[in-house]
């Protein structure tokens, strides 16, 4: 565990294992670093260090009050700054959903920190006008009520596959993370996602080994989106995870971890 300061804000991160290379995990919305805990042993057993920040607005990190302080590019700059601060060199960057938007922004803005990419349950294209409107409605609701509770059950129902073997357990874990998210963090991250740029033009330029993973029942970033993204990235592999929706690493960690472990075994471990 550690903290570092970015843009005057305190950022908390989990830090485990040792190795010449690190795997840096970026969480999705509205979660925190610990959503990646089932993957930490895979990275540690591969001889790598694990680093996973709570993004500003989430977990134990500072929560900027103003939504204009949040952006996907800003989160990407934070990831690169953390890599520099810890002297990690080039990392294997793993991002789920919003974490994937951030990983793609790192690939565009800071490709010199990358040794490999894992893009899970995510997409390169920006929000449609309908999705943007829905996010604005959510922001208004959280602002009006002063807490996030009214959104939790609906979001859980959209993201988890009904057929997932761990449906109840994962729902409880993610529900707790969601309910503990500060309203300003929730609103800010929605703003960041609403304003994010289209990254599809970046895909053919990605020149590090890449694994794309998607839950077979992901309703937010479905299989066809993942297939197109994997096709767009030179040499990328695609893993479709059965019994999983939008949070494949938690809904079916066995399959996710097998693909992740195989991917890591193909990469040199130096930074």
Which parts of this chain interact with ligand MLT (CB under 6 A)?
Answer: 28-29, 97-98, 193, 220, 246
Tell me the closest approach of the beta carbon of residue 75 to ligand MLT, in angstroms.
11
Instruction: Sort strands 9-16 and 2-6 into parallel, antiparallel or unpaired.
Output: antiparallel
Cβ nearer to ligand MLT, comparing 19 with 222: 222
User: What number of other Cβ atoms are within 10 A of residue 4's Cβ?
Assistant: 17
Tell me the closest approach of the beta carbon of residue 189 to ligand MLT, in angstroms.
8
d(CA 166, CA 252): 8
d(CA 1, CA 22): 14
Cβ nearer to ligand MLT, comparing 195 with 269: 195
Tell me the closest approach of the beta carbon of residue 271 to ligand MLT, in angstroms.
27
Tell me the closest approach of the beta carbon of residue 98 to ligand MLT, in angstroms.
3
Alpha helix stretches (DSSP H) within 40-128: 40-45, 72-85, 98-109
User: What number of other Cβ atoms are within 10 A of residue 119's Cβ?
Assistant: 32
Tell me the closest approach of the beta carbon of residue 106 to ligand MLT, in angstroms.
15
Cβ nearer to ligand MLT, comparing 15 with 127: 127
Tell me the closest approach of the beta carbon of residue 97 to ligand MLT, in angstroms.
3
Cβ nearer to ligand MLT, comparing 48 with 246: 246
Residue 59: which region, alpha, beta or left (left: phi > 0; alpha: psi -120 to 50)? left
Cβ nearer to ligand MLT, comparing 115 with 203: 203
List the one residue out of 118, 114, 4 whose CA is nearest residue 55.
Answer: 4
d(CA 45, CA 189): 33
In which element (H, E) is residue 188 found? helix 183-194
Cβ nearer to ligand MLT, comparing 80 with 98: 98
Q: What are the beta bridge partners of residue 14?
A: 52
């Amino acid at each position: 565990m550690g903290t570092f300061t970015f843009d005057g804000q305190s950022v908390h991160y989990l830090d485990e294992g040792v190795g010449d290379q690190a795997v840096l995990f970026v969480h999705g919305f509205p979660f925190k670093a610990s959503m990646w805990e089932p993957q930490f042993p895979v990275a540690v057993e591969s001889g790598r260090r694990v680093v996973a920040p709570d993004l500003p607005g989430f977990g134990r990190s500072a929560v900027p009050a103003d939504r204009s302080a949040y952006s996907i590019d800003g989160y990407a700059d934070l990831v690169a700054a953390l890599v520099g601060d810890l002297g990690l060199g080039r990392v294997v960057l793993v991002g789920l959903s919003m974490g994937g938007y951030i990983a793609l922004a790192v690939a565009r803005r800071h490709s010199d920190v990358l040794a490999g990419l894992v893009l899970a349950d995510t997409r390169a294209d920006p929000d449609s006008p309908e999705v943007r409107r829905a996010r604005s409605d959510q922001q208004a609701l959280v602002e009006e009520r002063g807490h996030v509770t009214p959104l939790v059950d609906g979001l859980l129902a959209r993201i988890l596959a009904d057929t997932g073997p761990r449906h109840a357990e994962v729902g409880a874990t993610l529900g707790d993370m969601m309910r503990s998210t500060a309203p300003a963090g929730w609103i800010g991250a929605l703003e960041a996602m609403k304003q994010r740029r289209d990254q599809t033009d970046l895909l053919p330029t990605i020149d590090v080994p890449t694994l794309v993973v998607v839950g077979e029942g992901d309703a937010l970033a479905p299989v066809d989106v993942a297939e197109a993204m994997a096709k767009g990235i030179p040499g990328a592999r695609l893993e479709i995870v059965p019994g999983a929706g939008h949070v494949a690493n938690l809904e079916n960690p066995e399959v996710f971890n097998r693909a992740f472990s195989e991917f890591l075994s193909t990469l040199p471990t130096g930074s």
